[in-house]
Amino acid sequence: MKVEIVGGGPAGLYLAILLRKLDRGVDVRVLERNAPDATFGFGVVFSEETLGALRDADPETHLEITDTFARWDRIDIRFQGRELSSRGHSFSAIARRRLLEILQERCREVGVTLEFGVEVEELPDADLVVGADGSNSFLRRFADFGTKVRPEGSKYVWFGTDHVFDAFTFAFRETEHGLFNAHAYPYDERMSTFIVECPEAVWRAAGLDGMDEQESLAFCEQLFANELRGRELYSNRSLWLDFPKITNATWHSGNLVILGDAAHTAHFSIGSGTKLAMEDSISLAAAVARRRWDLGAAFVDYELEREPYVQRTQDAASESAAYFGRIASYSGLEPIQFAFNLITRAGRITHSTLSVRDPQFTRALDSWFGGRPVSPPPAFSPFELRGVRFENRFELVESAVAVSPEGRLSPEDDARPEGKVLLRLTHAGRRASTEPRYRGVDLPLANGWPVVAPTKRPYAPFGPPPGVPDEHAVLEAFVTAAGNARAEVLELDMAHGYLLGSYLSPLTNDEDDRLRFPLQVLEAVRVEWEGPLAVRLSVTDWHPRGNQVDDGIAIARAMREAGADLIHVEAGQTIHDDRPQYRRGFLTALSDRVRNEARVPTLVGGYLTTLDEANTIVGAGRADLVLLDLPEPRIERPLKLGESALLGEVRA
Amino acid sequence: MPGATGDLVLEWARRADAGPFSSVAVLERVVYDSYDPFTALAAAAAATSRVRLATMIAIGPLRSTALLAKQAASVHALSGGRLTLGLAVGARTEDFDAAGVEHKGRGKRLGEQLAYIRGDVDGDSVGPSRDGIEILVGGLSGQAYARMARYADGYAHNGGPPRAFANAAGRALAAWGDLGRPGKPKLWGQGYFAFGDADRGSDYLLDYYAFTGPFAEKIAAGNLTSARAVKDFVRGYEEAGCDELVLFPTVPELDELERLQEALA
């Protein structure tokens, strides 16, 4: 049995060690294009979980690795002249060069052949060929892996520094060109990794596109002189880059298998690249052992085991990359909320998990929200909107009423619910005159009434073609309904392709000033209704020719300026065949952008099924109020006859 | 599947009806040695009296809307109202080519078919009555979830480990709420099993799913080949909120049904 591994990074070397340990009868060779001591990048990060896996897989290297580790448990966030710390986050890091030394040494010990300075130009001839050759993998060319590469996040550059940080440090620095941020962490007793990042527009405005390596280093050194405490930045081919997100539909073909960055990358801002790569090696070696070198079966096991985990990590990394791309919009947040938003950016840490890691931090956040030293979590904090006080962030109950018979969805009435009511004034437009929703949605009534919209096309198949709206009558109807309304919050329905919503979208309205009529209605109702006024908005049409999120944010801003107190964030349904993206909390990211970019309070639902989600969303400033879909708790079941009889006997 | 004679299929349905099972289900493929789903269910209707008869799934856009509606309504009427009509757009262009139907636009056509079957747009001129047909929609795109929530009673998942089902169920519930439907969608899942000759079962899956390329191996690796595996799978699906779980045989032998029944007892 002969194994050829292309790429002498952590994934390739570690796999070589594990395969030789598995079977000393196997020839394992690693081919690396660079010299043994050439390496790019400075330190790499591991989690406790990964360390456990490394210990189980090869105690010898684990011992060496942990011996030179830098360890810390704190995240420091330096923002607007303040530094906030959160504890309980176990990190470890090691110099990439040291890690490679340890792995190379161990390779020699177990009898792996290492060849450096070898440029592989064709597919090696072996029983098992491994592509551990990084994000620009050469071996990927030899089969159809369904590779996709697209840039994500901002521009970034990777430096080292001899200032030894004592925590994972996120620093933010405002300049005349825009906001820069740095990610810094120690990796041994002398050095730290120091990554500088900014959106491409900021990068160009600062002239970094025209600077050479030394100039950009000097620029960053000066910018973050405070964080570096006067120490230097070190360059190692430190050029500004775009991060390539790489995915592959499959990770094997015939006797060729790929792993690590060749198979998948995860944005550096969650520090998981090396961890994922070495976990791949462990999984693949374990599958080969389990399947006794039946490679086809081992590859399937390896993919089935790793794929869900890798995908979750890549999703979290993309969230994190996008977060740093829009970081400037959070500059209005209070430092404590800014810090909580940052810590929870990738969806992996929530209010409840953080309260276990760092109860002090969540207590500080909760008391900032509650205004008292001891306060309940953010979702239970009070909130005030135009003189109406809410006891908590989830007590609002939705209710809807059509402003006119023509605007009814179907011939049924909603009763007024109990509690703090948000009364939605709606006109269904071309979605009117349909069967009740327990049967389905947008099913036209056989004997319905005429519908109206700014477009002549029906909403759904078999729907009636809409007539022209009588805008004067519609406006009057909204104003009258507002005058008659009894509710804590009044809401104008401008979402989901209903009448006012269909005015807002280029998919359903050809006029240039698409906000004209919706704003007229808002302004007229604003005069009639003195209480809190919400606007329900489809922030994106989920369609390439419709409103995009940026358009939705601009509309939200216009609504706020015209007197809306709250934006109820929705998405899609502007047209029947849009391309929605459903999942738990699918509206949260949109609400975050509307709230922080249009600077307006938001209400958001989108299938939120836990109080923890509410605490995290409200705590991080992604929304002010939430609509929860709490499921019935399933903790109790009736005993079957036999069981209760038995219980009776025991008692007797 | 190849080797499933008419006798075998009907006896399978008969025993399922007599046993502890709640539904018998068929899937659809044109270019393969398999039965037409509605014909098979019509035959099963005559051999059974209790179980629901389900397409899991049928490829709606292969048929014209009125014919699809008529076939479904016929099975529904002939079975005394026991049809669960699972529909999706299908995954193979060759089925569309063989049926002489455009592959492009299949999603839009499925939407129209659902609106027609669920709605009242033909004044009941195409009988028998479609009232009470339980409709499921399958597919993993956002559009599929929206179609499901807009027109159907539930969601038909395409198989995989329980966590894949749980993920899809979350999306289905999110879509259901987004479209303002009251209550919850019915959640149907599926899996494959082989007790006797596991290799034969896996070979069948590799062959059946060859069109998916490397995914065929993963599907075959998920074949449930022991009582323990079936039990764990059922428990996992139960915990993920599955209302009805369809277990498809991969070896065409009656003994497989007996052993499935034992495993679930």
The ipTM assigned to this model is 0.95
d(CA A195, CA A185): 9
Interface probe for A, chosen from B116, B133, B137, B178 (most Cβ of A below 10 Å), is B178
SS3 at position A258: strand
Structure tokens at A623: 């929304």
Give me the mean pLDDT over the B140-155 stretch. Answer: 98
- State the DSSP H helix or E strand holding residue A27, giving kind and residue range, or none if neither: strand A27-32
* Contacts of A163 by beta carbon, 8 Å cutoff, 6+ apart: A192, A227, A228, A229, A231
d(CA A328, CA A619): 19
Q: What CATH code is assigned to A2-323? A: 3.50.50.60
Provide the residue ranges of all domains of chain A, joining segments of one domain with +: 2-323, 382-626
Global pTM value? 0.94
Residue of A156, A187, A459, A498 marked catalytic = A498
- Between chains, do A579 and B143 touch, taking CB under 8 Å as contact? yes
Provide the residue ranges of all domains of chain B, joining segments of one domain with +: 6-264
SS3 at position A234: strand
The pLDDT score that the predictor gives to residue A15 is 98
d(CA B46, CA B13): 10
The pLDDT score that the predictor gives to residue A437 is 93
Q: How big is the CA angle at A614 (ends A613 and A616), to the nearest 5 degrees?
A: 65
The pLDDT score that the predictor gives to residue A417 is 67
- Between chains, do B214 and A249 touch, taking CB under 8 Å as contact? yes
User: A-B interface: how many C-beta pairs under 8 angstroms?
Assistant: 113
Are residues A423 and A402 in contact, defined by beta-carbon separation less than 8 angstroms? no
Tell which residue, A197, A198, A14, has the closest CA to residue A100: A14
Residue A488's Cβ-side half-sphere holds a number of Cα atoms within 13 Å equal to 19
The pLDDT score that the predictor gives to residue B122 is 78
Q: How big is the CA angle at A526 (ends A521 and A529), to the nearest 5 degrees?
A: 120
Phi, psi of A58, deg, nearest 5 = -155, 95
CA dihedral A599, A603, A607, A611 (to 10 degrees): 100
- Between chains, do A443 and B120 touch, taking CB under 8 Å as contact? yes
Q: Is B177 on the interface with A (CB under 8 A)?
A: yes
Are residues A150 and A245 in contact, defined by beta-carbon separation less than 8 angstroms? yes
pLDDT block averages, 10 residues each, chain A of length 652: 96 97 96 85 84 93 89 93 93 92 96 95 96 96 95 95 94 95 93 95 96 95 94 92 96 96 96 94 97 94 95 95 94 94 94 97 96 94 95 91 85 67 95 95 94 97 96 97 94 98 98 97 97 98 98 98 98 97 96 97 97 98 96 77 49 40
> What is the radius of gyration, based on Cα positions, of chain A?
29
Beta strands A113-116 and A27-32 are parallel
d(CA A626, CA A617): 8
- Between chains, do B174 and A442 touch, taking CB under 8 Å as contact? no
Are residues A131 and A256 in contact, defined by beta-carbon separation less than 8 angstroms? yes
The pLDDT score that the predictor gives to residue A477 is 96
- Chain A contact residues (CB < 8 Å to B): 249-250, 252-253, 296-297, 299-301, 303-304, 308, 435, 437-446, 460-462, 542, 572-573, 576-584, 586, 605-607, 629
- Between chains, do B115 and A461 touch, taking CB under 8 Å as contact? yes
The pLDDT score that the predictor gives to residue A650 is 45
Q: Is B184 on the interface with A (CB under 8 A)?
A: no
- Taking phi over 0 as left and psi of -120 to 50 as alpha, with beta for the rest, A41 belongs to left
d(CA B93, CA B103): 6
Give me the mean pLDDT over the B241-264 stretch. Answer: 96
pLDDT in tens, B112-140: 999 999 998 877 788 899 999 999 999 99
- Between chains, do B178 and A606 touch, taking CB under 8 Å as contact? yes
d(CA A400, CA A512): 30
The pLDDT score that the predictor gives to residue A643 is 52
Interface probe for B, chosen from A250, A437, A498, A582 (most Cβ of B below 10 Å), is A582
Phi, psi of B66, deg, nearest 5 = -65, -40
Are residues A275 and A48 in contact, defined by beta-carbon separation less than 8 angstroms? no
Phi, psi of A623, deg, nearest 5 = -160, 165
Give A-chain residues touching B146 at CB under 8 angstroms. Answer: 572, 578, 580, 582
CATH number for the A382-626 domain, one of 3.20.20.70, 1.10.10.10, 3.90.1300.10, 3.40.190.10? 3.20.20.70
d(CA A433, CA A448): 5
d(CA A625, CA A391): 11
- Between chains, do A573 and B179 touch, taking CB under 8 Å as contact? yes
* Contacts of B84 by beta carbon, 8 Å cutoff, 6+ apart: B23, B25, B52, B53, B54, B55, B133, B134, B135, B136, B188
**Active site annotation includes A498:** yes
Chain A: residue nearest B134 by CA? A439
Give the closest of A252, A304, A437 to B181, CB-based: A437
The pLDDT score that the predictor gives to residue A378 is 97
Structure tokens at B41: 């269910």
d(CA A310, CA A262): 13
SS3 at position A390: strand
The pLDDT score that the predictor gives to residue A648 is 45
Beta strands A82-86 and A75-79 are antiparallel
The pLDDT score that the predictor gives to residue A645 is 46
Tell which residue, A281, A244, A260, A273, has the closest CA to residue A96: A273
* Contacts of A312 by beta carbon, 8 Å cutoff, 6+ apart: none
Task: Write down the CATH superfamily of domain B6-264.
Answer: Luciferase-like domain (3.20.20.30)
Distance from the B142 Cα atom to the nearest Cα atom in chain A, whole angstroms: 5
Strand partners, A422: A398, A489
SS3 at position A476: helix
The amino acid present at A525, given as its one-letter code, is V
The pLDDT score that the predictor gives to residue A637 is 74
Structure tokens at A381: 């904090």
Give the closest of B145, B151, B183 to A440, CB-based: B151
In A420-518 the beta strands, taken as DSSP E runs, fall at 421-426, 489-494
- Between chains, do A578 and B213 touch, taking CB under 8 Å as contact? no
The amino acid present at A480, given as its one-letter code, is T
Give A-chain residues touching B167 at CB under 8 angstroms. Answer: 583
Inter-CA distances, B259 with A228, A347, A431, Å = 69, 44, 51
The pLDDT score that the predictor gives to residue A409 is 82
